[in-house]
Amino acid sequence: MPTLGQGGCMFEGVVAGARSVGIPVPAAKAATGQGLRERRALREPLHIEARWDGERVTAPAILDSRPLDTRQLVGCTVGEALARLPGLCRTAPRAQTVVALAAFVAAGAEGAARSEARDDERTVAAETAQEHLSRLMLDWPVLFGHEPRRERFAMLHHGLAQVRDGRAAYELGGDLLDLVAVELLGGFFRATREPTALREFVERARRGGTIGEALADLIEIGTSTSEHDAVPLLPPLSAQTWGEMLGGLPSPQFCRTPSLHGQAHETGVLARHAGSMLVRILLTKGHRIAARLFARVIDLADCASRLRHPLAPDMPTLLDAAPLGDGAGLAWVETARGLVLHAVQLDGERVAEYAIIGPTQWNFHPEGPFVTEGSGWSAASLEAARLRFAALVLSLDPGPDFEIVLKAAADA
pLDDT along the chain (412 residues), means of 10: 34 31 36 34 75 91 74 95 89 95 97 94 98 96 93 96 93 95 81 80 87 92 85 98 96 95 97 95 95 97 98 97 96 98 97 96 96 91 94 94 84 56
Residue 156 CA: distances (Å) to CA of 16, 175, 177, 369: 22, 8, 12, 31
Q: Are 377 and 130 in contact (CB under 8 A)?
A: no
> 341, 361, 381 — which closes off a domain?
361
The whole-number pLDDT of residue 179 equals 93
Instruction: For residues 306 and 169, give the distance between their C-alpha atoms in angstroms, rounded to a whole number.
Output: 9
pLDDT at 374: 94
Residues 1 and 111 in one domain: no
103 shares a domain with 74: yes
pLDDT at 410: 65
Specify if 347 maps to a domain. yes
Domain shared by 30 and 94, yes or no: no
Domain membership of residue 157 (yes or no) is: no
Q: What total of structural domains would you count in the chain?
A: 2
Regarding whether 322 and 259 lie in a shared domain, the answer is: yes
Which pLDDT value is given to residue 33?
A: 35
pLDDT at 209: 80
Task: Tell me, yes or no, whether 247 and 323 share the same domain.
Answer: yes
Give every CB contact of residue 165 below 8 A, 6+ residues apart in sequence: none
Q: Do 348 and 372 share a domain, yes or no?
A: no
- The rounded distance, in Å, linking the Cα atoms of 139 and 8 is 7
Task: Give every strand in the sheet of 56-62, ordered side by side.
Answer: 3-7, 402-408, 46-52, 56-62, 377-378
- The Cα–Cα gap between 382 and 168 comes to 48
Give the count of beta carbons closer than 10 Å to the beta carbon of residue 410.
7
Give the pLDDT of residue 412.
52
Residue 99 lies in a domain: yes
Among 354, 310, 353, which residue's Cα sits nearest to residue 96?
354
pLDDT of residue 13: 31
Per the confidence metrics, is the pTM higher than 0.95? no
Residue 93 domain-assigned (yes or no): yes
Which pLDDT value is given to residue 27?
38
**3-state class (DSSP) for residue 288:** helix
Is residue 242 located within the same domain as residue 329? yes
Provide the domain limits for residue 326.
70-116+236-263+314-361
For β-strands 319-325 and 402-408, DSSP reports them as unpaired
Residue 297 lies in a domain: no
Task: For residue 28, tell me if it sits in a domain.
Answer: yes
In a shared domain, residues 8 and 108: no
Direct distance between the N- and C-terminal alpha carbons of the chain, in angstroms, rounded to an integer: 8
Cross-strand pairs, 332 = 320, 341
On whether residue 58 sits in a domain, the answer given is: yes
